[in-house]
Amino acid sequence: MSFVFASIDRKGSLLAHYTQRMGALVDRRLSQVALEAARKEAELSARNAVAASRAKSEFLANMSHELHTPLSSIIGFAEMMEREVKGAMPPVYRDYAKNILDSGRQLLAVVDDVLDLSQIETGTYAIAETEIDIAEALTGIFRLAQGRAAQAGLYLQARMPTGLPRLTADARAFKQIVSNLLSNAIKYTRAGGRIYVLASLTPERELSLRVVDTGVGMKESELARIVLPFERLGEAMTRKQQGAGLGLTLVDTLMRMHGGTLVLQSKVGVGTMATVTFPARRLAAAAPADNAPADTASAETGPGDTSPADIVPSAAHDADTNAAPQP
């Protein structure tokens, strides 16, 4: 009798053992099925997201093209009216024409930014590399910004060493990078403030361009987000400024396409320093730049004896040193 019970116990134990193993195998298989389903769902979501992003970029590119032509016509006719090419107009109509011209140019700039970003996202933006005379290019960009700076009551000055080597880059992209940084500085600096454009070579022979302002500044937590498309951060003055929030996004993207970097340093109520650095491989071999700074003409509304040191103390001799100033 005891033998029968022992046999039953052993069979019961084996059955429990196999049942436990079978349960573990079923649980493992169910987990594998769930993971596989989750993986396929994630892949599908990723493909849908990529497709949606591409569709959005293509839509924006097409719409930008459609807007570009009529806007160019509006701007052209407004320029003719402002200059009274076809005859004199009442002063109030000239003012209307100027408002149309200014608004058209502003909208065209937004359209161009959207078009560029869309082309970059779809991989159709082409870099047309050429040799750029850095001093000449910066002087031209600087002169274009002088009118806006003077109108806003800002002191604006560019400083660069003589004998800078030529830069191999896309000339239009280079202009866009510096212009966007200057435009941001002008937008977010109150009347009486100062803006400097500082060019120098680093010890590694990289080209460093810095735009330093005494504007409203940003919180450190906002610096990473401000380069995202359509981001508008900051205080009331920042939010009231016009624009699509693509300026720094394009600067960051275009710099990466050139193998360079954009670094932002800022402090609320003190100002902001934006630094773009082009790699040494993009600079032509040349003798070291002269340490003597060459200042361009200033759109000056503040005291004439101000210097970069008034904005960032460690930049007292920035034109002939490579120290990175802190805003």
Is CATH 3.30.470.20 the right assignment for the domain spanning 1-125? no
Reduced 3-state DSSP string for 79-146 = HHHHCCCCCCCCHHHHHHHHHHHHHHHHHHHHHHHHHHHHHHHHCCCCCCEEEECHHHHHHHHHHHHH
Q: What is the mean pLDDT of residues 80-100?
A: 85
Q: What is the mean pLDDT of residues 21-28?
A: 74
Residues in the chain, overall count: 327
- Contacts with 201 (C-beta within 8 Å, 6 or more apart), sequence order: 161, 164, 165, 207, 208, 283, 288, 289, 322
User: CA nearest 158: which of 147, 145, 175, 170?
Assistant: 145
The model carries a pTM of: 0.66
**pLDDT tens-digit readout, 186-231:** 988 999 999 999 999 999 999 999 999 998 888 887 877 777 766 6
Q: What is the mean pLDDT of residues 85-94?
A: 85
CATH superfamily of 129-320: Histidine kinase-like ATPase, C-terminal domain (3.30.565.10)
Could you tell me the residue ranges of all domains in the chain? Answer: 1-125, 129-320
Q: Do domains 1-125 and 129-320 have the same CATH topology?
A: no
Mean pLDDT for the chain?
76
Cα–Cα–Cα angle for 193, 112, 218, rounded to 5 degrees = 35
Name residue 131's beta-bridge partners: 168
